[in-house]
């Protein structure tokens, strides 16, 4: 079994078409088709259902996919382990990150990272939806919310507490809430994904529904609304750290409740065979989070 054929299989499975996989790997579609056929002959099974426009994994292809990913990762890790210390990372780093965090933290990292590793390429998906990193063939997911049960590997990078914030002009006009009860008379900015605001009261986590004057599905929109003075918003530290530093938003602390503690997590498909491209990216990201005071 040729590792190069396995990589073509993974690219086709992620992209859904031979042409997309061929472009990603910089080969011709006919060459990609022949190598997939050779891999199927080697395994003795059909890996894809073929139509004129796309391909879909067969049951055997679905079963083979995690093994294929492990083979590809093992080869890259072996090469990385044998490289001299300080060698450059290479290949395509495919990751997903929340939109605001990705724009504020990840994108500014890329110029210096790519300058140090000129053979490295980055495919960055900015989305507030939780992505299936195994099914989509991603190397890494950055997440800023509470993690559910999963077989994936999670590494904590930095604290990311929720916090209440508002523009100074809103607080001058409406006063600063001091207790949970005070929130009932304030205008609030809500997120669809956080229908009830979580507060730590004593030793328990309480979720309270707020009457949102502005409701949105976008963290970026909620932050903008808060900066414009439309009300109180509950966001996370890394969503608003630049605005807190600049003074366009002010942190609001309550006497009878604390905020829920969250973290920034790096989620990978496996603990073993972590590609060098993932390692150098996470090292750069952790350094940046420390520098910014996370």
The pLDDT of residue 272 = 63
CATH number of the domain encompassing residue 104: 3.40.190.10
Residue 135 has pLDDT above 90, yes or no: no
Query: What pLDDT sits at residue 32?
Result: 85
Domain with 281, as residue range(s), is: 91-158+263-293
Least confident of 72-81, 98-107, 125-134: 72-81
pLDDT of residue 210 exceeding 50: yes
In the chain, the number of structural domains is 3
Tell me, yes or no, whether 187 and 274 share the same domain.
Answer: no
Q: Do 268 and 152 sit in the same domain of this protein?
A: yes
Q: Is the pTM of this model over 0.85?
A: no
133 and 277, same structural domain? Answer: yes
Average pLDDT over residues 193-222: 90
C-alpha 86 chain-centroid distance = 27
- Does residue 73 sit in the same domain as residue 212? no
Q: Mean pLDDT, to the nearest integer, of 101-110?
A: 92
**CATH number of the domain bearing residue 189:** 3.40.190.290
Q: What is the pLDDT of residue 67?
A: 87
CA distance 83 to 87: 6
Give pLDDT tens digits for 20-51.
777 777 788 888 889 889 999 999 999 988 77
Within 13 Å, how many C-alpha atoms sit on residue 13's CB side?
A: 27
- Give me the percent of the chain exceeding a pLDDT of 90: 44
Which of 24 and 209 is assigned the larger pLDDT? Answer: 209
268 and 141 in a single domain? The answer is: yes
User: What pLDDT is stored for residue 247 in this prediction?
Assistant: 96
CA-nearest of 22, 20, 17 to 51 is 17
What is the chain's percent helix, strand, coil content, to nearest 5?
Answer: 45, 25, 30
The enclosing domain of 51 has a CATH number of 1.10.10.10
pLDDT for the residue 294: 45
Same structural domain for residues 74 and 203? no
Residue 287 burial by Cβ neighbours in a 10 Å radius (0-12, 13-18, 19+): exposed
Task: Check whether 60 has a pLDDT greater than 70.
Answer: yes
Q: Are residues 212 and 247 in the same domain?
A: yes
Query: pLDDT confidence of 162, banded at 50, 70, 90?
Result: very high
CB burial string 148-168: b at 16+ within 10 A, e below: eeeebeeeebbebebbbbbbe
Please give the mean pLDDT across all residues of the chain. Answer: 86
| Domain identity same for 108 and 253 | no
């Amino acid at each position: 079994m040729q590792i190069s054929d396995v990589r073509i299989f993974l690219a086709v499975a992620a992209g859904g078409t031979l042409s997309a996989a061929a472009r990603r790997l910089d080969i011709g579609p006919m060459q990609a088709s022949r190598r997939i056929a050779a891999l199927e002959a080697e395994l003795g099974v059909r890996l894809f259902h073929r139509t004129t426009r796309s391909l879909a994994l067969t049951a055997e292809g679905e079963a083979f996919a995690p093994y294929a990913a492990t083979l590809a990762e093992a080869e890259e890790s072996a090469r990385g382990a044998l490289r001299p210390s300080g060698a450059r990372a290479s290949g395509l780093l495919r990751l997903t990150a929340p939109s605001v965090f990705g724009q504020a933290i990840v994108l500014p990292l890329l110029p210096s990272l790519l300058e140090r590793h000129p053979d490295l390429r980055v495919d960055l998906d900015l989305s507030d939806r939780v992505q299936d990193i195994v099914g989509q063939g991603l190397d890494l997911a950055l997440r800023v919310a509470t993690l559910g049960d999963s077989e994936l590997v999670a590494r904590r990078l930095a604290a990311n507490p929720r916090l209440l914030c508002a523009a100074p002009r809103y607080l001058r006009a409406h006063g600063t809430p001091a207790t949970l009860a005070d929130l009932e008379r304030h205008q609030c900015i809500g997120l669809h994904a956080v229908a009830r605001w979580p507060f730590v009261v004593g030793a328990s986590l309480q979720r309270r529904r707020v009457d949102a004057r502005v409701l949105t599905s976008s963290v970026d929109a909620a932050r903008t609304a808060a900066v414009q003075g439309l009300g109180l918003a509950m966001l996370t530290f890394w969503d608003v750290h630049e605005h807190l530093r600049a003074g366009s938003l002010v942190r609001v602390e309550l006497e009878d409740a604390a905020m829920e503690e969250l973290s920034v997590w790096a989620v990978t498909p496996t603990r073993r065979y972590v590609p060098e491209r993932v390692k150098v990216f996470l090292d750069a990201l952790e350094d940046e989070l420390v520098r910014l005071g996370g």
